[in-house]
Chains A and B, each alone.
Chain A
């Protein structure tokens, strides 16, 4: 291998990574750009953008006619409107003008800013497919012009030299919109697009930040130059958000999200921008098309945004938190309306990521949880009272279940971490009671066989909740009740239907009822739920007592069971429960138990893990079997 040239080594050392990244970025952008062009030609847009194009034209034409906005709803409004709001994607970012930048002609910016070196892109020479003719009144930005601007920027690194580039940037962001004629510049080449983007992203924040150094503990508004530079910042932010809204590429998202995160203090003080920002973030967060790191980043950005003071004159410390919490829940609820193959995991991710924002402020979190759980209770009450088809439909739905799961996750995670860290217990633990009440009522509301999947979803949810919060929730009756169902007891109709994926149904299809497949599925679920439930209290000092009725009942059921496989399963479960009982009894005989003294009981088996106990082994083997089954599929 020939020795590398010195320059190459240097390049490798300093710029290679950056360059590769940039190239990749560019390729992505190119692809996205093309995609967008195509879709625009076709007249519609990718799925997740929905009615965006229409709405955008609407927004362009009648901007002042304020359409319904989530953010305008307060809690009581929301309760009336219900959580089924239509997706709103139009960005109302119309407060920036080209004239804003004229200030830069006279503005005396801070100099001596070290701008990152612009690496030469070897791909620049790529052939550009020139696009549409330039429209009247605007100039097409060519590579040469851009080169010149960049050179000027390098020579005099002040914010003033950024003007043209910013103008182009704005034009870029407005490419989709109908009013791009109003722009001074126009772009018709991808290379230029990428170049402008890269330059702006690298330089603009630095320049703006340098000029707007805030006073102590104040937002950017406290800066002396805010009055002058506010339009510039606004224009930049708006353009950035527009681009963020329009792109459709994971890596680009990450870059842009990072960028916006650094600008969060500016966005927070610009009312229109922050509204749009929240919307974009929520859209990305909830979109199943976007990769999970991007979505996590979105949640992080939201957290960040909600922690920044929005600089209202009346309330200095007010933040967006309450509003954001509301929007997060609504977005989640809207997404939870239906569940497809891949959405359970996506929803799961949303739930777990949402925890971080609810953790920010316990008081707010409790308030929101209380209000929305109350709302769920009301729905259930009306359904229980009226029993009409419509009201029943509301509660026996994916959305309802998902909302319950949402709060269960929030409450569970926050309470358990609070306990672990030894902090004072969260107020959210009070929600547990309502959640359990709702779930058990829901189980009893429609005990028909068809809704057994829903019952299992609820039971699993409650088991998880019990596990993390270490509360006792009696669920055994709801499980043992199933042994006596006709569906389980009677001989099933033979049939060879594909097995059901229980994670994506709450109501069994009619053709499965009374079939062998369905019966087997029920038994399987029942078995695993029983194991999970008892394993949950496997280390409790009162486990032997808890297991007594179960053991008695299981031995009865074992003799009645007709399915030999299931009979064996029951047999092992029973034996394990007995073993575990003996084990705990043996352990607890060593300590001096006293019901009056909880510390002993609390300390009991605190250091043991369930894995080493008989029941723990069963859980492990069960999990292994499940994993096997999944991999087979």
Chain B
């Protein structure tokens, strides 16, 4: 820990000195570079200083000074040598000019090297994360390879950068870096690329061929009209009050923006400097112009950012002489990175702006645009540098209790990231950040945040725990017994082959299943940790439905050891509302009903798969659903998607995430199926009681529920011929009286009555239900036929 604090303290001094010692760079650069170093720390400090109560920042320094998580400790154990490195670092840095200082900061999250910036908890986690994903992908190895290959003289402009890179390097890193490079250089000698990769419609990256140039042109032109449409949109909003000259300058600005954008896109490598101009325009006083500039930059970056992550060059690489082409590429990359970071900093700052007090809007328009830009960048350039910074900013926006449009956009962006995440790494990062945010906010957030977890690609891609274990066990045993004999020579060849194959795979950037599983498991752990914490400590929280839904969805991935605790927790949750209910005689609210249903369903789902081995008593859950059936019957909204009543109309945009949730009626049928159809052994009186009560309450329910009910009963009758006593009168199984209002399925004596409701169902206004009911009435179970 001391290292951490030390570094925080030291940082400002670097800047002060570097500022003083800086050479006088060209005018334009000066303004840009001066801004950058100041703006970067500002961005990072803001979390602490800003007094925006609405937004929660990613865990702050104070927070983590007090509570050091296990992860942090672990990190420092693993990377203990880094701390020493940190101490020795800044001396070199003192001699840097400001342009150089800017870069390491800018690159911080991208490089695996922890740098002497303030290490807040989140940041050191960031670097931790980055360490993992620094496996050399194809693209980065390729540009390294180019470095090695070309041995042309270096243009002057790159000197700064080289120095900078030297500073960033470390011995360990170099060894690590060297390995793949050798191989890849050999490998790529066959076909040398001079072009940047292009993105294919499927989201994969491919090296552009020489003759595809014309296609490129077309592609590049596309974003321009897009910007134009955005321009015109904003122009439409523009009130007429603008005076004539103002209008003229606005139009001129617009044209300027379009001009610059198209110039950059035509040839990004030589016109990269123009990005600064764009940035300058984005600071225009006219909010419209600023918005336009932001959007233009968005489009430009989306277009010119390469399909790989730009890696910090090691010292050795710096020292190596490289060809002019490589130099050019490097210069391009560094400038791009720097201006990209500057852009992000701007965006983040703008997005934090509060609306003017006199304006009626809840959110500042520029802030809105900035947030949109960030979300777009996050979803489109997930692979690129500064992903974590982007995510942090976006997730911070989601922490509002009052669900705003901005939060909605951010949420959707995160969902998008989850959905399109092939490797699982981005998801892991996002989940980490979200769970931190949720924790520090004290679980007082909108449930949509938790609902984003539902879109993780865990369910399909991660095999269930039990199955996985079993397969592994089998897989280990079998090969041993019947493995063919292999000679030493063969083994050697095989080993070599394996290595080659491994490298090939790495080069292909195909994520292996194991790696994927690893990241997924990590993600899952975080998600469950979040869920369990809510279950145990925040039983009345609004997040509960979301959590239960999540648990139900990922039930098959939960380890069996947790089951007992989990069920206990859910029972507690289920009965938590009961006490208040009895005293006030208030009817169950929709949320209450939902919570109970979800609890029960989750419980049954947990026990339906691997849980069948455990013989746990679920009586409580049966009774709960049984009790719920009657009041639900008179609720006309049971087929509506949840949340319809809670959200006010202004939040109409909040629909898409809501529709992912199931309505109460769907939950009910799902629950019943889990209870009776999916289980091996069912208690006959209990099933009969449920059939009778469900048929009573379904009388008042909408058509589709009745249809579900009737098919359910039919299935159940087919399975259990003894239930036929409800339909047939000849053999009344039970004596005594049926107690329709008793809330206990075990004691209500269902066999004393008959399914009189079928009469009404056979006269139902819906012809489908009529025919279903008729077929049910005419139903003859297999056992019956045998008897007859």
Contacts of A553 in B (CB 8 A): 631, 634
Kindly provide the distance from the CB of A241 to the nearest chain B CB, expressed in whole angstroms. Answer: 44
Contact B763 A472 (CB under 8 A): yes
Whether, in the assembled complex, A430 has its beta carbon less than 8 Å from a beta carbon of chain B, the answer is yes
Highest count of chain B CB atoms <10 Å: which of A466, A472, A484: A472
Whether, in the assembled complex, A277 has its beta carbon less than 8 Å from a beta carbon of chain B, the answer is no
Contact B585 A593 (CB under 8 A): no
Whether, in the assembled complex, A594 has its beta carbon less than 8 Å from a beta carbon of chain B, the answer is yes
Q: Which of A494-550 contact B (CB under 8 A)?
A: 537, 540-542, 544-546, 548-550
Interface residues on B, range: 35 or more
Contact A545 B699 (CB under 8 A): yes
Contact B699 A546 (CB under 8 A): yes
Known: A470-B763, A472-B765. A595 touches B701 (CB 8 A): no
Q: Which of B28-36, B264-272, B415-423, B753-761 contacts A (4 or more CB under 8 A)?
A: B753-761
The residue of chain A having its C-beta at the shortest distance from the C-beta of B779 within the complex is A596
Question: CB-CB contacts of B668-706 with A at 8 A, as 1s and 0s?
Answer: 000000000000000000000000000111011110000
Q: Given the complex of chains A and B, what is the CA–CA distance between A598 and B779 in angstroms?
A: 13
Whether, in the assembled complex, B88 has its beta carbon less than 8 Å from a beta carbon of chain A, the answer is no
Q: Given the complex of chains A and B, what is the CA–CA distance between A441 and B199 in angstroms?
A: 48
Contacts of A484 in B (CB 8 A): 587
Whether, in the assembled complex, A474 has its beta carbon less than 8 Å from a beta carbon of chain B, the answer is yes
Kindly provide the distance from the CB of B269 to the nearest chain A CB, expressed in whole angstroms. Answer: 50
Contact B634 A476 (CB under 8 A): yes
Kindly provide the distance from the CB of A87 to the nearest chain B CB, expressed in whole angstroms. Answer: 36
Contacts of A436 in B (CB 8 A): 765-766
Q: Which of A396-454 contact B (CB under 8 A)?
A: 430, 432-433, 436, 444
Contacts of A546 in B (CB 8 A): 699, 757, 760
Whether, in the assembled complex, A607 has its beta carbon less than 8 Å from a beta carbon of chain B, the answer is no
Whether, in the assembled complex, B727 has its beta carbon less than 8 Å from a beta carbon of chain A, the answer is yes
Contact A545 B634 (CB under 8 A): no
Contact A552 B585 (CB under 8 A): no
Question: CB-CB contacts of B698-735 with A at 8 A, as 1s and 0s?
Answer: 01111000000000000000000000000111100000
B interface: dominant SS: loop
Q: Given the complex of chains A and B, what is the CA–CA distance between A540 and B635 in angstroms?
A: 23
Contacts of B439 in A (CB 8 A): none
Q: Which of A544-589 contact B (CB under 8 A)?
A: 544-546, 548-553, 556, 559-560, 588
Contacts of A472 in B (CB 8 A): 699, 760-761, 763-765
Whether, in the assembled complex, A601 has its beta carbon less than 8 Å from a beta carbon of chain B, the answer is yes
Contacts of A548 in B (CB 8 A): 630, 696, 740-741
Whether, in the assembled complex, A477 has its beta carbon less than 8 Å from a beta carbon of chain B, the answer is yes
Q: Given the complex of chains A and B, what is the CA–CA distance between A537 and B765 in angstroms?
A: 14
Contacts of B758 in A (CB 8 A): 542, 595
Give the residue of A473, A476, A545, A556 whose beta carbon is less than 8 angstroms from that of B740. Answer: A545
Contact B700 A598 (CB under 8 A): no
Known: A432-B765, A433-B766, A545-B740. A444 touches B696 (CB 8 A): no
Question: CB-CB contacts of B286-299 with A at 8 A, as 1s and 0s?
Answer: 00000000000000
Kindly provide the distance from the CB of A455 to the nearest chain B CB, expressed in whole angstroms. Answer: 11
Contact B729 A592 (CB under 8 A): yes
Highest count of chain B CB atoms <10 Å: which of A436, A473, A474, A596: A474
Give the residue of A444, A552, A559, A598 whose beta carbon is less than 8 angstroms from that of B762. Answer: A598
Whether, in the assembled complex, B138 has its beta carbon less than 8 Å from a beta carbon of chain A, the answer is no
Highest count of chain B CB atoms <10 Å: which of A537, A548, A550, A559: A548
Q: Given the complex of chains A and B, what is the CA–CA distance between A432 and B702 in angstroms?
A: 16
Give the residue of B587, B635, B729, B760 whose beta carbon is less than 8 angstroms from that of A593. Answer: B729
Q: Given the complex of chains A and B, what is the CA–CA distance between A432 and B758 in angstroms?
A: 20
Number of interface residues of A (CB under 8 A): 41
A interface: dominant SS: helix
The residue of chain A having its C-beta at the shortest distance from the C-beta of B640 within the complex is A444
Question: CB-CB contacts of B585-607 with A at 8 A, as 1s and 0s?
Answer: 10100000000000000000000
Whether, in the assembled complex, A480 has its beta carbon less than 8 Å from a beta carbon of chain B, the answer is yes
Whether, in the assembled complex, A390 has its beta carbon less than 8 Å from a beta carbon of chain B, the answer is no
Contacts of B203 in A (CB 8 A): none
Contact A601 B728 (CB under 8 A): no
The residue of chain A having its C-beta at the shortest distance from the C-beta of B762 within the complex is A598
Kindly provide the distance from the CB of B781 to the nearest chain A CB, expressed in whole angstroms. Answer: 12
Q: Given the complex of chains A and B, what is the CA–CA distance between A559 and B587 in angstroms?
A: 11
Contacts of B760 in A (CB 8 A): 472, 537, 540, 542, 545-546
Known: A444-B636, A541-B759, A552-B630. A595 touches B585 (CB 8 A): no
Q: Given the complex of chains A and B, what is the CA–CA distance between A476 and B763 in angstroms?
A: 16
Known: A477-B700, A560-B585. A595 touches B759 (CB 8 A): yes
Known: A476-B700, A542-B756. A549 touches B729 (CB 8 A): no
Known: A542-B756, A545-B696. A595 touches B777 (CB 8 A): yes
Question: CB-CB contacts of A260-285 with B at 8 A, as 1s and 0s?
Answer: 00000000000000000000000000
Contact B696 A549 (CB under 8 A): yes
The residue of chain B having its C-beta at the shortest distance from the C-beta of A546 within the complex is B699
Q: Given the complex of chains A and B, what is the CA–CA distance between A444 and B760 in angstroms?
A: 24
Q: Given the complex of chains A and B, what is the CA–CA distance between A540 and B757 in angstroms?
A: 10
Contacts of A550 in B (CB 8 A): 634
The residue of chain B having its C-beta at the shortest distance from the C-beta of A596 within the complex is B777
Kindly provide the distance from the CB of B539 to the nearest chain A CB, expressed in whole angstroms. Answer: 25
The residue of chain B having its C-beta at the shortest distance from the C-beta of A549 within the complex is B633
Q: Given the complex of chains A and B, what is the CA–CA distance between A593 and B753 in angstroms?
A: 10
Known: A540-B760, A598-B777. A477 touches B754 (CB 8 A): no
Known: A542-B756, A593-B729. A559 touches B585 (CB 8 A): yes
Q: Given the complex of chains A and B, what is the CA–CA distance between A481 and B634 in angstroms?
A: 7
The residue of chain A having its C-beta at the shortest distance from the C-beta of B776 within the complex is A595
Contact B756 A556 (CB under 8 A): no
Q: Given the complex of chains A and B, what is the CA–CA distance between A386 and B697 in angstroms?
A: 34
The residue of chain B having its C-beta at the shortest distance from the C-beta of A591 within the complex is B729
Contacts of B762 in A (CB 8 A): 598
Whether, in the assembled complex, A478 has its beta carbon less than 8 Å from a beta carbon of chain B, the answer is yes
Whether, in the assembled complex, A114 has its beta carbon less than 8 Å from a beta carbon of chain B, the answer is no
Whether, in the assembled complex, A471 has its beta carbon less than 8 Å from a beta carbon of chain B, the answer is yes
Q: Which of B616-666 contact A (CB under 8 A)?
A: 630-631, 633-636
Kindly provide the distance from the CB of A48 to the nearest chain B CB, expressed in whole angstroms. Answer: 39
Contacts of A559 in B (CB 8 A): 585
Contact A588 B777 (CB under 8 A): no
Contacts of B701 in A (CB 8 A): 474, 477
Q: Which of B760-780 contact A (CB under 8 A)?
A: 760-767, 777-779
Q: Given the complex of chains A and B, what is the CA–CA distance between A598 and B756 in angstroms?
A: 11
Highest count of chain B CB atoms <10 Å: which of A471, A537, A551, A559: A471
Known: A481-B636, A549-B697. A596 touches B728 (CB 8 A): yes
The residue of chain A having its C-beta at the shortest distance from the C-beta of B774 within the complex is A598
Contacts of B764 in A (CB 8 A): 471-473
Contacts of B728 in A (CB 8 A): 594-596
Kindly provide the distance from the CB of A113 to the nearest chain B CB, expressed in whole angstroms. Answer: 59
Q: Given the complex of chains A and B, what is the CA–CA distance between A472 and B757 in angstroms?
A: 11
Q: Given the complex of chains A and B, what is the CA–CA distance between A549 and B777 in angstroms?
A: 23
Q: Given the complex of chains A and B, what is the CA–CA distance between A553 and B696 in angstroms?
A: 14
The residue of chain B having its C-beta at the shortest distance from the C-beta of A447 within the complex is B636
Kindly provide the distance from the CB of A474 to the nearest chain B CB, expressed in whole angstroms. Answer: 5
Kindly provide the distance from the CB of B367 to the nearest chain A CB, expressed in whole angstroms. Answer: 29
Contact B700 A549 (CB under 8 A): yes
Question: CB-CB contacts of B5-43 with A at 8 A, as 1s and 0s?
Answer: 000000000000000000000000000000000000000
Q: Given the complex of chains A and B, what is the CA–CA distance between A432 and B727 in angstroms?
A: 28
Beyond A477-B700, A594-B730: 9 further Cβ-contacts under 8 Å? A542-B699, A548-B630, A549-B697, A550-B634, A553-B631, A594-B729, A595-B756, A596-B778, A598-B759
Q: List 30 A-B contacts (CB under 8 A).
A: A471-B764, A472-B699, A472-B761, A472-B764, A473-B764, A473-B765, A476-B634, A480-B634, A541-B756, A542-B699, A542-B757, A542-B759, A544-B740, A545-B760, A546-B699, A546-B760, A548-B696, A548-B740, A549-B631, A549-B634, A549-B697, A549-B699, A551-B741, A552-B741, A593-B756, A594-B728, A594-B754, A595-B729, A595-B754, A595-B756
A-B pairs with lowest CB-CB distance, top 8: A477-B636, A595-B758, A594-B729, A542-B756, A601-B759, A472-B760, A480-B634, A549-B633
